Structure 1
């Protein structure tokens, strides 16, 4: 094979023959930069932690209402919302009650036999006898209200008294939560309270139209919520009792176009 076909040519010097690369020979480039470009780049999806951090950052930059950190009396809050909704007389007030209920409203009933079946049909979330006491003590079964039939109260009191008592949730005859008619109690409760807390323990309910007298409706609704969550005080003895586990942390009033205003006197 000739030197020309190999892409080489030669020249004469005084010391002999010197081989030179042809100026027309092809040059190959194998640098790391070019090789990296040829590789397909992998795209990594953000983790849940990164997405949560991004959402918190976005929320912190969001515009906040001037009423977020301010409390008002019910009358003053109504005046502000009426001014906002002056052109919308059919707008509706909404009451937002934030509680410490971590899993929403749940009714747990201690009953057996026919009473247990009736409690289930009435809408109880958990129904059982003394066998579920340990689950309540350990926290595997939690509720915002506990009911019990009279024949089981002595069986559950030794263990549950020290757990539910300090939180104001222990069934008692004085409160009416120890009764032979647990099904009737549940039906009355569900029939008079048309609301349910979400998983975060927040209760939302329409109260009245903007230009109606809503003070009476607000106070009546709150009395129902306090009773169902164990926050009802005994006004006769002026004894607030132990702090309930489902304590009310914030009460707000809002309207369709108005801000949420935290109430200070209800």
Structure 2
């Protein structure tokens, strides 16, 4: 007896699980098989040929998805004084003061999608790094989320418009959401192409052999479709 639901089993019949499809075709299949009762998120999963134990083989950057992620993004900004005012004017949803930092630390409160900080606050933010880090919410200069107050408006605007951060985990895998199953096919395909280009552009020069070993596209509840990279 299959542990998967009827919908999943039906979806699997629509394609060859072992075949590697061109990216656009894979996206089309995933969109077709996303039949859950809610609007599923479409994701790309990469198996990278990096050694995550080495600092010079970390893959971390951001990509500006041309058509966004199809959801509103709640942004928290660690700032005080004038910087907090600038963040508020730029459209930040939450300004994190000491009380909010304490709430994250003591209650594990994480009701936001992205976090930005001004450099002066990083000492305080460091106290909750082990809570934010594993969830990809830790502000980081490399990801463009530690910024000067003058830059706050641009960064918040980009995050709300669909700028997505990506990074490898400690097993050399990388996961990246690229939109909703309800998106027009061409919009999903354009987001996917931008995401793939962004990941390719971050190949560390010290990687030996294949950089992208395997790539799969999937939706929240659907089966994974292999991509020929």
Q: Which residue of 2 aligns with 1:106?
A: 74
* Larger radius of gyration between Structure 1 and Structure 2: 1
Alignment gaps of 5+ in structure 2: 33-39, 46-70, 165-176, 208-215
Given candidates 140, 143, 146, the residue that maps to 2:112 is 143
Distance, in Å, in 2 between the alignment partners of 1:67 and 1:116 is: 52
The question of whether the paired residues in 2 share the 8 Å contact of 1:109 and 1:147 is answered with yes
Q: CA RMSD in A?
A: 4.7
Q: Which residue of 2 aligns with 1:208?
A: 186
Aligned equivalents of 1:80, 1:145: Cα separation in 2: 26
Which has the bigger relative contact order, CA under 8 A and spacing at least 6? 2
Cα 1:172–1:192 shift into 2, 3 Å: closer
Higher helix share: 2
Answer whether contact 1:110 1:130 (CA < 8 A) is retained. Answer: no
Pairs within 5 Å for 1:1-266: 60=5, 64-65=10-11, 66-67=13-14, 70=17, 72-75=19-22, 78=25, 96-97=42-43, 105-137=73-105, 138-157=107-126, 159-180=127-148, 181-191=151-161, 193=163, 203-204=179-180, 205-208=183-186, 214=189, 218-221=192-195, 234-236=202-204, 251-252=217-218, 262-264=225-227
What TM-score does the superposition give when structure 2 sets the normalisation length? 0.50
Q: 1:189 to 1:81 in 2, by over 3 A?
A: closer
Q: Aligned-pair distance for 1:135?
A: 1.9
Q: 1:164 to 1:233 in 2, by over 3 A?
A: farther
1:142-195 alpha-carbon deviations (Å, 9 max, x no partner): 3332110111111221x212222344432122322111122221113334559x
Give aligned pairs, total: 164
Structure 1: runs of 5+ lacking an equivalent: 1-58, 86-93, 195-200, 227-231, 240-249, 254-258
Instruction: Give the aligned partner of residue 49 of structure 1.
Output: none
